[in-house]
Amino acid sequence: MIYLNAFLVAGTICLLGQLLVDVFKLTPGHVTSYFVVVGALLDSFSLYDRLIDFAGAGALVPITSFGHSLLHGALAKAEEMGFFGIAMGMFDLTASGITSAIIFAFLVAVFFKPKG
Amino acid sequence: MERATYVFDRVYLKGTGTSVGPLEKQGPLGEYFDRDYENNYCGEKNWEAAERRLLSDAIIIAIINSGLKLEDVDLIIAGDLINQNVISNYAMRDFDVPFLGMYGACSTSMQTLLTGSIFINSGMFNNIVVASSSHNATAERQFRYPTEYGGQKPPTMTFTVTGAGAALISSIPSSIKITAATIGRVIDAKQKNPNDMGSAMAPAASDTLIRHFRDLNISPDYYDMIVTGDLSQIGSQVLLDIMEYENYPINKLHHDCGKMIYSEDQKVFAGGSGCACCAVVTFGYIKRLLDTDQIKRALVVATGALLNPMMTLQKETIPCIAHAVAFEKCEVKP
């Protein structure tokens, strides 16, 4: 069942993204940014956590989960450290994603040449 | 309306040169191009160097095809799409010839040609090389995204032609005469979508065409062929509709370089664009049609969208321009 849920949830998120690009003429940069913000907003009242329980990777793989992780990390650290924890914990959960993006981008740039 | 068409009596198209990338060679006009490369690097290290190579090729071939030498060239006028016209400016390091750089977006091919023609007609210059270039990868990075980014493209988007075209124009008579040119005005049809430049440019093309016909008091069928630069599939239809409405129907005469250069099965969205699009089609294909007497008179209207990505982000509309140059086959007096 979770496979179907994953398919439906991730598919719906991608459909929204495609509509933003085609109908509202937004650039891929806009869409990515909006999705991060929406994911962060949905972390309120643990809405996004419930979506993850429901759809698994269907909610974890799209970029919305990045926004969710940003806020999640920030709030967790804030509970522990107070106000400054927001800044300290912001990238806790997303550190591995950001680091691997940088490393893989570096490796690809070193070993491959674009064909144009 | 001010008169904007200039008639020449001693400007001749002496020789042309074209150099293109692999996709353009595979297209329907492939056989008309002088030189081509197996991949988009053109044997160079990066895209800008590749485009410089294409531009230099085209200029050298144009001079050779004219039967002249570099020393005979009084002036080179060239332009491209990249910031600060760096392709032309840097390529000119290798040419020991006076140089004027020009920017007219994709209208550069005819902008340089009409400027050169006016210079020659003035009697102050004898031989001028005009050239323009574009490269898919440099233009995508400049105006959209780097190709490596892999952003989605809508079907209205055009595909920048990789290539360069050059022409040597001269006061020495030859079989193709440049008879007239119309300088375009900046026309803004309040179109905002940078992914559909054909529709944005069509009103500029129609403005220039109508003024050309009015100034010379001729009808469109004076020409055997009316060729626009890179309106592509969508923009061409807009142009035909406007011209029909304005009582200058050109349906039977109209061709668009953006539609001619690639075939239907090549994945190029709405068709070709870029400075090189009009340049290689005009200096390769149209020149050959005139040479072989398949047509006697041709009017080429190069269209340019004068935008940059910053203006698009500031939600500005897209100002456009179109310049027209008329070619005529003539008898050379011995």
Cβ of B152 and A114 within 8 Å?
no
Contact status of B5 with chain A (Cβ, < 8 Å): no
Structure tokens given for A57 = 């990777």
Q: Under CATH, which number does the domain B5-170 receive?
A: 3.40.47.40
CA distance B301 to B19: 21
Buried residues in B96-109 as b, exposed as e (16+ CB within 10 A): ebebbbbbbbbbbb
Give the integer Cα–Cα distance in Å for A48 and A39: 7
Shortest distance between the Cα of B46 and any Cα of chain A, in A, equals 10
The answer to whether residue A22 neighbours chain B at the CB level (below 8 Å) is yes
On whether the CB atoms of residues B315 and B200 are closer than 8 A, the answer is: no
Interface of B with A in 173-232 (CB under 8 A): 193, 195
Chain B neighbors of A21, CB-CB under 8 A: 152
Residue B334 has pLDDT above 60, yes or no: no
Collect all residues of chain B within an 8 Å Cβ-Cβ radius of residue A22: 154
Measured between CA atoms, the residue of chain A closest to residue B21 is A116
Query: Is A116's CB within 8 Å of B147's CB?
Result: yes
What is the chain B residue with the closest CA to A114? B148
pLDDT digits (tens, 9 = 90+) for B270-309: 899 999 999 999 999 999 999 999 999 999 999 999 999 8
Q: Name every residue whose Cβ is closer than 8 Å to that of residue B221 and which is 6 or more positions away in sequence.
A: B253
The residues near B116 (Cβ < 8 Å, ≥ 6 apart) are: B75, B77, B125, B128, B129, B130, B169
Distance in Å, alpha carbon of A29 to nearest chain B alpha carbon: 10
Q: Do B193 and A25 touch (CB under 8 A)?
A: yes
If you compute the radius of gyration of chain B from its CA atoms, what whole number of angstroms results? 18
- Sorted by sequence, the CB contacts under 8 Å of residue A68 that are 6+ apart come out as A39, A40, A42, A43, A48, A49, A52
Residue A21 touches chain B, beta carbons under 8 Å: yes
Q: Provide the pLDDT for residue B147.
A: 76
Angle at B332 (CA atoms; ends B172, B252), nearest 5 degrees: 105
The reply to whether B315 touches chain A by the CB within 8 Å rule is: no
Residue A92 to chain B, least CA–CA distance (Å): 27
B227: nearest Cα among B139, B289, B185, B156 = B289
SS3 content of chain A, % helix, strand, coil (to 5): 80, 0, 20
Q: Do B47 and A116 touch (CB under 8 A)?
A: yes
Please give the pLDDT value at position A22. 87
Question: What CATH topology corresponds to B176-329?
Answer: Peroxisomal Thiolase; Chain A, domain 1 (3.40.47)
Numbered ranges of CATH 3.40.47.40 in chain B? 5-170, 176-329
Give residue-wise pLDDT tens across range B215-230.
999 999 999 999 999 9
Of B148, B193, B195, the CB nearest to A114: B148
For residues B226-253, average pLDDT? 95
| Helix, strand, coil percentages in chain B from 3-state DSSP, rounded to 5 | 40, 25, 35
pLDDT in tens, chain A (116 residues): 899 999 999 999 999 999 998 898 888 889 999 999 999 999 988 999 999 999 999 999 999 999 999 999 999 999 999 999 999 999 999 999 999 999 999 999 999 988 87
Mean pLDDT for all residues in chain B: 94
Q: Which of A22, A27, A116 sits opposite B40 (nearest CB)?
A: A116
A-chain residues near B152 (CB < 8 A): 21, 28
Q: Residue ranges per domain, chain A?
A: 2-111
Chain B residue at shortest CA distance from A18: B152
Please determine, for residue B141, whether its predicted confidence score (pLDDT) is greater than 80.
yes
